[in-house]
A = this chain, B = another copy of it.
Amino acid sequence: MSTTIEISSERSHAGKSKALVLGSPREGGWKKGIAIMDFILRLGAIASALGATATMAAADQSLPFFTQFFKFEAAYDDFPTFQFFVIAMAFVGGYLVLSLPFSIVTIIRPHAVGPRLALIILDTVFLTLAAAGAAASAAMVYLAHNGSEDANWLAICGQFTDFCQATSGAVVASFVAVVFLILLVIISALALHKK
């Protein structure tokens, strides 16, 4: 709490003129807390996005025995949807890493609006990308597990058990990243609101 007061005293002129209008003397501390939570959520999102990318990219299984399938190896790059997943989640993870400095700027200067606005807009775009990758791969994982009787597509998870486990894990991790990104957009909106 003492740190908060020190920093807001550096900006005493801007802080006081705003406090007069909005009548909230503890506003600086409140916004600083939001900014620190933003940073922590961003770390969580990075871990899950990069974890999802690595798990999916490493998903590869060769079968030691003959089956009804022509090919005896399954890897993520046999399925365009899983390729899209790897590319999308790698982009999301890369963006989140690059966004960390901007998040730190909002911790140091809780009243700076520019970085926060840039973060909420880019977070929204990459949230959409992450949700698209996660959902498309979830549809594929569902098909791999259950097949589709009407389209005459057989479930392949009976043979490729390890491959299916790896891809399912990656999809779960990507949905965790999506939840982190939704929370990031919401707290950025709250921070913009209480200006």
Chain A contacts to B: CB under 8 angstroms: 17-18, 21, 68-71, 74, 78-81, 113, 117, 120-121, 124-125, 127-128, 131-140, 142-144, 146, 148-154, 156, 178, 182, 185-186, 188-190, 192-193, 195
The copy count of this chain in the complex is 2
The 28 sampled A-B contact pairs (Cβ below 8 Å) are A69-B150, A69-B151, A69-B152, A71-B150, A78-B150, A79-B150, A80-B142, A113-B193, A120-B185, A121-B185, A121-B186, A124-B124, A124-B182, A125-B182, A127-B127, A127-B131, A128-B131, A128-B178, A131-B135, A132-B132, A135-B136, A135-B139, A136-B138, A136-B139, A137-B139, A143-B143, A151-B156, A193-B195
Q: In whole angstroms, what is the CA distance A155 to B79 when docked?
A: 14
Bound complex: CA of A132 vs CA of B129, how far in Å? 9
User: In the bound complex, do residue A124 and residue B127 qualify as a contact, i.e. CB atoms below 8 Å apart?
Assistant: yes
Residues of B within 8 A of A127 (CB): 124, 127-128, 131
> Which residue of chain B has the shortest Cβ distance to A184 in the bound complex?
B124
List the B side residues contacting A70 at CB < 8 Å.
Answer: 149, 152
A121 and B21: CB pair below 8 A?
no
What residues on B are CB-neighbors of A144 within 8 Å?
A: 151
Q: Across the interface, do B69 and A148 meet the contact criterion of CB distance under 8 Å?
A: no
A186 cross-chain contacts in B, Cβ below 8 A: 121, 124
A139-B81 contact given A151-B153, A153-B153, CB 8 Å threshold? yes
Are A189's CB and B136's CB within 8 A?
Answer: no
Judge whether B150 and A117 touch: CB under 8 Å: no
State A54–B146 Cα separation when bound (angstroms): 27
